[in-house]
Amino acid sequence: MVLGKRSDYGDAKYAGVQVPFSDDIPKTVESYGLCGFDFVVAPLVRESWRPPAPAVLDNGALPSPLERSDCLYINSSQWANQVVGAVSDWIQPDAANPALRQRSVTALKTQLGWAAHLGLQAVVMPPPHAPGRCPNYAGVLNQALQSLTHMALWLTVPLVIPTPTPAHGADSGAAVSAVAGAGGLDGWEAWHQVRAQCDHHNLLGAALLVGPTLPSPASLKRWAGEPVKALLLPTAVFSANKRGYPVLPKAHQELVAAFFRLGVQVVITGEACHAVPPPAAAAAAAPGAKQVTPAPAAAAAVGPGGEPLGFTVTDPGESHPLRPYWEYLCFLFRRLEVVCEQERQEASYRDYLQVPLQPLQDNLESQTYETFEKDTQKYTLYEEAVFRALKDRQAAEAAAAGPRDPFDPANATDAPAASAASTSGRPVVLMVVGAGRGPLVRASMRAAARAGARLRVYAVEKNPNAVVHIQHMLRTEGWSDCVTLVSADMRHWQAPEPADILVSELLGSFGDNELSPECLDGAQRFLAPGGISIPQSYTSFLAPVTTHKLHHDVKAYKDLEHFETPYVVRLHRHYLLAPTQPLFTFVHPNTDAPIDNSRYDSLVFSRDPADGAAVLHGFAGYFECALYKDVLLSIHPPSHSVNMFSWFPIFFPLREPVYVPAGGEVGVQVWRCCAPHKVWYEWALSAPVAGPIHNVNGRSYWVGL
């Protein structure tokens, strides 16, 4: 039974439960399913099972190390999707005792082989017994991963690992970290060593074991970019409220909610340890409830505070001792904040790689234009920018004309009103370069109506198919007399008159990555002296990022070219290692002589040691644009334009993931290179280690002029 169906969070979220070893797994699945859980985490073998001692085999015999009574048995694939296997906790492939070490390796291989044979979707692995020093454990996992095609391995990772006592070997190899607080080791460090030795394999994920003590909130954010598959939530972490229901501390509630937002499942572990009144009694004791005896077969489900959860419970499931824990997860999931309209629009694009558009080389399809035009907030900002530019021109021309003579008949109140466009009476000449299907023309005309200004508009568009849409718009709106349609490339067209205002929509996800500087530098010849360009300037921003999902998707292409290509992507499962920093800025009109749009900069990102170590997969890029004065259009997180979704961030991948120690700096060098027929980026890591320059000479990716 799902925790709750909410369209604003996409797919319904599910919860699992850890169960003891079972001889009849279908019956176990059914029993816990009635309780509400969607899958079980079941041991692959009995706790007492050990692999048989090595023996000399006769006549080619290959006896199985498992007996039917000792192992998890499923004879139908219909149950495999509802069962996650669990490897025995006693296994220690890195034990100091050679006999235990060898037996552990054999047992681990046997259990993983059996789970793969059953076709299970995933297997929960025990945490390393020697965090930070587990080469044999990582070696066996790596060997298993090479032969797996779909079964995932979930490595149990305690968020905080208790510091080992000297009697158990204090020199564990794991770093004592301020992240975990006094007396603890950073679980992320133990996780990273294993996954690094497994070459960041995509089938290896983390199952985070939540304890009573949590690491610092800043360090917890690192897991947003990691392949976290489940939260293991022991019943012992819960406390009882005044009604006897199990509840989580505030910090734990926020942790569970954060992972719900990322689509991570929760697994309840351990036995019930809270005495909860039966559902009928709880419903009767709820505030405002009538004191009547409900039907014994059904009762309203209530949350930890007695509030109704909106569904009924029926025997035998609701009498299960773990039912209150499942209901509490429902309560946490259902009270998540409502997702805004922008998030809804972007949900299907989350963590999906897209190569940036090449609008100069390619003519966009109508559907692409239509998608962009749905972003009404963007055109509202453009309208406001044009409106303010028109008002400023009116004010400037009125000031230049001097005070009006009240005795002049031309200024009489009953005389025909002079044009609001200018004191000379001529319309304001506004050129839209790269008009597409005409949304900027519409925004400009709305702005003129608000300002009481007359416009003479030139709509310049090189895509002959988009021109047809503009023709239809002009006929429908009756603008043919004031809007001149120009089917031409702005770089080659000769304007019949200078423009007072030049409007364009040529920005990319990194500001300049769709050649806005080159296009507007060429088009600024249209501007009259003192003319206004909208946009006036834009700045790109960069930040180091952890994003296992995107790095794996790039790696799956198995070539250099894709690691040297920047991608437009709606970042979702990601973590910024440091705040963004500005990179390149372009201003229009460009008064440089000669004009050179090549750029170079080197950035250094400092990190707080309390944030913990992290892994670097690449860099996330954003832009911030001043359309006109303080009218800002931005996808930069600190200043993101509300409900605007036309642009997603850009991702510059690194060929290999890089470990960044706690407090370590991240340095990057970025070039914007220009040639007669193309523009491209090159980037290289300079800290914590120096890395190769990516995309040298634009060998893998460029934007054609």
Catalytic positions: 505, 514
Contact 624, 638 (CB under 8 A): no
- The annotation status of 490 as a binding-site residue, yes or no, is yes
Q: Which of 187, 191, 51, 47 has the alpha carbon at shortest distance from 113?
A: 51
Length of the chain: 705
Contact 524, 533 (CB under 8 A): yes
Question: What angle do the packed helices 187-197 and 135-147 form, to 10 degrees?
Answer: 50
**How far apart (Å, rounded) are the C-alpha atoms in residues 194 and 138?**
5
Other CB atoms within 10 Å distance of the CB of residue 487: 17
- The annotation status of 369 as a binding-site residue, yes or no, is yes
**How far apart (Å, rounded) are the C-alpha atoms in residues 146 and 125?**
17
345 phi/psi in degrees, rounded to 5? -65, -30
- DSSP labels for 217-239? HHHHGGGGGS-EEEEEEEGGG-E
In which residue are the tokens 């890089």 written? 658
Contact 279, 311 (CB under 8 A): no
**How far apart (Å, rounded) are the C-alpha atoms in residues 515 and 521?**
10
What is the token pair recorded at 108?
A: 């681990």
- DSSP labels for 31-42? HHHHHT-SEEEE
Contact 457, 483 (CB under 8 A): yes
| Continuous H helices in 215-322 | 217-220, 250-261, 279-285
Q: Which of 445, 374, 434 has the alpha carbon at shortest distance from 644?
A: 374
Burial of 498 (0-12, 13-18, 19+ CB in 10 A): middle
Spatial neighbors of 155 by CB under 8 A, at least 6 apart, are 125, 127, 141, 191, 194, 195, 204, 205, 206, 207
**How far apart (Å, rounded) are the C-alpha atoms in residues 420 and 395?**
10
**How far apart (Å, rounded) are the C-alpha atoms in residues 267 and 84?**
11
What is the token pair recorded at 355?
A: 């190569």
Task: Report how far Cα 251 is from the mean position of its chain's Cα atoms.
Answer: 22
**How far apart (Å, rounded) are the C-alpha atoms in residues 37 and 49?**
28
**Three-state DSSP state, 222:** helix
- The annotation status of 351 as a binding-site residue, yes or no, is no
Count of H helices and E strands in the chain?
A: 16, 30
What is the token pair recorded at 294?
A: 């409900």
Q: What angle do CA 465, 466, 468 make, to 5 degrees?
A: 75
Q: Which amino acid is located at 1 in the chain?
A: M
Other CB atoms within 10 Å distance of the CB of residue 381: 21
- The annotation status of 497 as a binding-site residue, yes or no, is no
What is the token pair recorded at 35?
A: 């309780």
**Three-state DSSP state, 520:** helix
What is the token pair recorded at 467?
A: 């021109």
- The annotation status of 373 as a binding-site residue, yes or no, is no
Contact 373, 439 (CB under 8 A): yes
**How far apart (Å, rounded) are the C-alpha atoms in residues 482 and 454?**
9
Which residues participate in the annotated binding site for S-adenosyl-L-methionine? 369, 378-379, 461, 489-490
Annotated binding site: 369, 378-379, 461, 489-490
